[in-house]
């Protein structure tokens, strides 16, 4: 159970074409937001946004990170945690902010927070950084949103982060459409 449970109107079509035809009545979801904006050292705007999500029924949320100096990002993440409660309720989308040792350093700094996952810490084809980071970071590492084909995803899983601690996130519009998305899944 991730968060609010919803059922999308697109599910019957996808289930009929690519699955068993059975549609679950409820699916776990989370909300993504928490974009950078303005000079708000107390992060009141971020906290207000997350409270609105919480009030709408979401328990798990994802915010942007990796775009500020580390000490500022940590203050921002801690402000978010004051709203969402435990680290397992918060994921960070790093939007490919780092390469090499910088990704591992960021992951080491947030490791004590026991976050749900850190997402896209580096470029999508930087398999070596993904691999190194997932060897050092104890939590989940998410990626795959910017991979286009099944072959890229297979290489990501072969050479990138540890598969048992990977959250794979293919994006249907980016991966050559729904047919390629179905091949990936």
pLDDT tens across the length of the chain (185 residues): 444 444 444 455 566 766 676 776 666 789 999 999 877 878 999 999 999 999 999 999 999 999 999 999 999 999 999 999 999 999 999 999 999 999 999 999 999 999 999 999 999 999 999 999 999 999 999 999 999 999 999 999 999 999 898 999 998 888 888 889 989 98
Tell me which residue has tokens 């050479």.
Answer: 159
DSSP 30-44: -EEE----S--TT-H
- pLDDT at position 71 is 95
Nearest C-alpha neighbor of 64 from the set 80, 42, 83, 51: 80
Q: How do 90-93 and 27-28 pair as beta strands?
A: unpaired
Return the structure tokens found at 80: 């978010």
- The C-alpha atoms of residue 58 and residue 154 are separated, in whole angstroms, by 32
SS3 (DSSP) at 167: strand
- pLDDT at position 72 is 94
Return the structure tokens found at 19: 């699955």
- The C-alpha atoms of residue 14 and residue 161 are separated, in whole angstroms, by 29
- The C-alpha atoms of residue 148 and residue 108 are separated, in whole angstroms, by 29
DSSP-derived secondary structure letter, 20: -
């Amino acid at each position: 159970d991730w968060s609010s449970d919803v059922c999308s109107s697109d599910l019957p079509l996808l289930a009929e074409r690519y699955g068993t035809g059975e549609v679950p009545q409820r699916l776990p979801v989370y909300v993504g937001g928490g974009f950078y904006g303005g000079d708000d050292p107390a992060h009141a705007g971020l906290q207000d946004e997350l409270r609105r999500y919480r009030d709408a029924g979401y328990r798990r949320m994802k915010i942007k990170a990796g775009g500020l100096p580390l000490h500022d990002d940590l203050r921002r993440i801690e402000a978010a945690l004051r709203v969402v409660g435990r680290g397992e309720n918060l994921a960070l989308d790093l939007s490919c902010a780092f390469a090499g040792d910088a990704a591992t350093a960021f992951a080491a700094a947030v490791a004590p927070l026991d976050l749900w996952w850190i997402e896209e810490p580096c470029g999508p084809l930087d398999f070596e950084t993904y691999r190194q980071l997932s060897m050092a970071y104890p939590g989940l590492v998410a990626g795959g949103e910017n991979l286009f084909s099944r072959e890229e995803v297979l290489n990501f899983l072969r050479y990138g982060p540890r598969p048992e601690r990977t959250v794979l996130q293919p994006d249907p519009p980016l991966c050559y459409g729904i047919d390629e998305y179905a091949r990936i899944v």
